[in-house]
A and B are shown apart, each in its own frame.
Chain A
C-alpha cells in the first residue's frame, strides 16, 4: 500500500514540475505575443511622449523656480512658492471664472443650436446634402479667420452687419466686442461649434429605430411628446459625448479672444491669461508654469469624472 502511495507522490511531484514548465512556457508565449501587439504602436507612443510629456516635465521643473527672462538674476529654485501665490492672484481667479462661464455657455449654446439643426436636417427634403454641407462649413473655418470675420463684418459698429441692421431699425449701433466682450466671444464659439454638435446629434437621430417612434405614435404620443419622452432619452449618450468633447476643446480657446477682444479683462480666460503672464510680455515663466500645472491637473480631474460618467451611461444603455 505504502509503496503505491510513494509512487503516486513521486508521480505527483513529476507532474507538478511538468505543469510548472508548461505554465512558464505559456507565460513566455503570452509575453512574446504582448510585445508583438505593442511594437506597432510604439513609434506613436514615443512621439507622443516626446512632444507632450517631456515639455510637461520641463514645465513642472520651471514651476518650482522663479525664472523670468527680463532680469539678469540667475534662476533660483524656490519650491512651491509660485503655487502659494496662486490663491492671492485675483487676475488668475477672474480668468478661471471667465473660463468656466465661457466653456459652459459655449458648450450649452452650441449643443442647443446643434440639436435644433440636427432635428431640422433629420428628414428627407430636396437639397438635403447641400444644406448639410453648408451648415458644417463654420466648423471648417480657421478660428482666427472666424474671429476676424465676426469682429469686422458683424460686430463692428461702423461696417458691421449687426450695426447696419440696428441702424435700419432706428437704433443706435453698439460696439459689441467692446461693450459685451464675453458674450461676443461666446456667440462666435457657438457659431463655430454648433455644426460639430449637429453632426453628433444627427448620428444619434439617424441611428434611432424608426419603429420605436412609430410605436410611440400608435401609443398616443404627440410629436413633442415623442421627442421628449422617446428621442431625447435615446440621444443622451450622444449629448454627453458632445458635451465632453466640446468642453475639452472650448476650455483651451485662445485665438478667438485674441482676435475679437484682444484680452479685455471681461473675456480673458485661463489660457489667455497664462500666455500673457509668460510669452505674451509678462515674462514670468516660473509663475506661469505653476499656473499651467494647476490648470492641467484640474482639467485632467474634470475630464476623468466626465469620462467615467459617460461610460457608465453607455454601459447602462447596452
Chain B
C-alpha cells in the first residue's frame, strides 16, 4: 500500500494529440479516488499511465517513494481490473487468479491458500475449476477482482470495471467493491464515466475534461460547490440547469429576470459571494439544481418574488419524486460542445417556440400534469453563479 503522486504529468501521443495536460494528483495511502469525465477526457489514459501501459511524456509519477516514470508495469506492484475483465481464456479461474503469484515464484501451497481466500471473499470457490467462458458476466467481473486482490499490491487500478454489467448487478457490485476496498485499505484509482459510481464510491472524485483537471474534492463538495460550470453541469442527475441571465438590481438587492418575471436573489447569496457585485448589469451563468425548485402548490409559504409561471411539457414519475420539464425563454449554457465531445454533446432540448426546456425535481405530491399551467418556486438562496467568459464559479 502506498500513496500515488502525479506531478505536472503530460501525455502527448506520437501523432501530436495532447491527451493529458499538467495533471497534478496526490492520492493518499488507502484512498479511493475516482476519475470521472465524458469520453475522451483522458481518464483512462491517466490510469494507464499509472499502470505503466502508456508512457509518460512529461512530469513525474511516484508510487510510494519510488519514481516510476520509466518503470515497467510488472515492476510497479500494481493490480489492474480492465473494462472487459481481460481474463486469460485458456486458464481456469484458479489459474487466472493465481497467475501473478505464479509469476512471482511464490510456493504452490501458498498460492493455493491465497487463491482460496480470495475466492472465498468473492464467493467464487465453486467456480475455481471452471474456465472464464463458462462464467456469467458478474462472475467474470469477480474473477477480475480476485486477480487484483490476491496480489496485495500497492494500488488497485480499475478501468470502468462495472460498465459491462446489467444495471442491477452494477449497483450490487458497486457496493461490494467499495466495501472490499475499505476492508483491504488498498489505494485505489477507479475510472468511470458514470457519475453515480463516482459519487457513491469515491473518497474523493477527480473531474477531467479534455485532459485538463477540473476539480478534485469529496463527492459532496463537488456537488455543493463546483469550481466551474463544467463540474456543475457534469455532476448531478438530472443535471444542473444552467441559464445565461443578466444580473439586475443593486448590490444589496440583486435579481434576475426570466420571461419578464423577476426572481429576487436571496441577500445571503450576495453576502457570501461578494465578487458577484462586480457582475451587476452583466451576463452571468446561473446554476439551479433541479431539487432547488418545487411546485408552488406544495411550497405554499414561498414569497411571490421567488416564483416563475410556465407550463409543464413532460413528467417523469419516479415514484419517490417527479422530474418535471418546463420551457423558459432563456438561453442555456452548454458545457459540452459538438466539436470536442461528439455524441456526448447533447443539445439542450427546446420546445416548438425555441424556448429551452429546464428540469425541476418536485415532490410526488405535486399535481402537475403534462400540458397544464405550472408555477415553480425557486430557492434563490441556493443559486450557483459562474463567469460566462471563464466558466469559473463566482465566489469570494
B223 within 8 A of A: no
Q: How far is the CA of A216 from the CA of B53 in the complex (A)?
A: 11
Chain B 83-141 interface residues, beta-carbon cutoff 8 Å to A: 83-84, 86-90, 99-100, 103-104, 133
B74 within 8 A of A: yes
Inter-chain contact B90/A234, CB cutoff 8 Å = yes
Q: What's the minimum C-beta distance from B47 to chain A, rounded to whole angstroms?
A: 11
Inter-chain contact B74/A230, CB cutoff 8 Å = no
The 7 closest A-B pairs by CB, nearest first: A219-B100, A211-B86, A215-B86, A220-B74, A233-B90, A220-B103, A211-B82
Binding site for B on A (CB under 8 A): 209, 211-212, 214-222, 225, 229-230, 233-234, 236, 317-318
Q: Given the known A-B contacts A214-B53, A318-B133, are A220 and B104 also in contact in the complex, defined by CB atoms under 8 Å?
A: yes
Closest B residue, CB atoms, query A211: B86
Question: Which residues of the partner chain A approach B73 to less than 8 Å between Cβ atoms?
Answer: 214, 217-218
Select B86's contact among A209, A222, A233, beta carbons within 8 Å.
A209
B33 within 8 A of A: no
Inter-chain contact A219/B147, CB cutoff 8 Å = yes
Q: How far is the CA of A318 from the CA of B147 in the complex (A)?
A: 22
Select A218's contact among B51, B83, B84, B90, beta carbons within 8 Å.
B51
Inter-chain contact B53/A218, CB cutoff 8 Å = yes
B79 within 8 A of A: yes
Closest B residue, CB atoms, query A209: B86
B205 within 8 A of A: no
Q: Given the known A-B contacts A219-B103, A220-B74, are A214 and B86 also in contact in the complex, defined by CB atoms under 8 Å?
A: yes
B296 within 8 A of A: no
Question: Which residues of the partner chain A approach B151 to less than 8 Å between Cβ atoms?
Answer: 219
Closest A residue, CB atoms, query B90: A233
- A-B contact count, CB below 8 Å? 64
Q: What's the minimum C-beta distance from B336 to chain A, rounded to whole angstroms?
A: 28
Q: How far is the CA of A229 from the CA of B99 in the complex (A)?
A: 10
Q: What's the minimum C-beta distance from B295 to chain A, rounded to whole angstroms?
A: 49
Select B74's contact among A218, A229, A236, beta carbons within 8 Å.
A218
Q: What's the minimum C-beta distance from B137 to chain A, rounded to whole angstroms?
A: 16
B265 within 8 A of A: no
Q: Given the known A-B contacts A212-B89, A214-B82, are A219 and B53 also in contact in the complex, defined by CB atoms under 8 Å?
A: no
| B236-267 near A? 1/0 per residue, CB < 8 Å | 00000000000000000000000000000000
Q: Given the known A-B contacts A218-B51, A220-B100, A221-B103, are A212 and B87 also in contact in the complex, defined by CB atoms under 8 Å?
A: yes
Inter-chain contact B82/A317, CB cutoff 8 Å = no
Q: How far is the CA of A212 from the CA of B90 in the complex (A)?
A: 11
Inter-chain contact A218/B79, CB cutoff 8 Å = yes
Inter-chain contact B78/A219, CB cutoff 8 Å = no
Chain B 23-73 interface residues, beta-carbon cutoff 8 Å to A: 51-53, 72-73
Q: What's the minimum C-beta distance from A59 to chain B, rounded to whole angstroms?
A: 44
Q: How far is the CA of A121 from the CA of B86 in the complex (A)?
A: 24
Inter-chain contact A215/B82, CB cutoff 8 Å = yes
Closest A residue, CB atoms, query B48: A214
Interface centre among B52, B73, B87 (most CB of A within 10 A): B73
Inter-chain contact A317/B133, CB cutoff 8 Å = yes
Interface centre among A218, A221, A230, A233 (most CB of B within 10 A): A218
Question: Which residues of the partner chain A approach B79 to less than 8 Å between Cβ atoms?
Answer: 218-219
Closest A residue, CB atoms, query B78: A218
Closest B residue, CB atoms, query A217: B73
Question: Which residues of the partner chain B approach A222 to less than 8 Å between Cβ atoms?
Answer: 74
Q: A218-B78, A317-B89 are in contact. List 6 more A-B contacts (CB 8 A).
A: A211-B84, A217-B52, A217-B53, A218-B79, A219-B151, A234-B90
Q: How far is the CA of A229 from the CA of B74 in the complex (A)?
A: 15
Interface centre among B53, B79, B133 (most CB of A within 10 A): B53
Question: Which residues of the partner chain B approach A230 to less than 8 Å between Cβ atoms?
Answer: 88
Question: Which residues of the partner chain A approach B374 to less than 8 Å between Cβ atoms?
Answer: none
Inter-chain contact A212/B133, CB cutoff 8 Å = no
| Selected A-B contacts with CB under 8 Å, 12 pairs | A212-B89, A214-B51, A214-B73, A217-B74, A218-B52, A218-B76, A218-B78, A218-B80, A220-B74, A222-B74, A234-B90, A317-B133
Q: What's the minimum C-beta distance from B391 to chain A, rounded to whole angstroms?
A: 35
Chain B 275-319 interface residues, beta-carbon cutoff 8 Å to A: none
Question: Which residues of the partner chain A approach B74 to less than 8 Å between Cβ atoms?
Answer: 217-222
Q: What's the minimum C-beta distance from A217 to chain B, rounded to whole angstroms?
A: 5
Q: What's the minimum C-beta distance from A232 to chain B, rounded to whole angstroms?
A: 10
Q: How far is the CA of A216 from the CA of B95 in the complex (A)?
A: 12
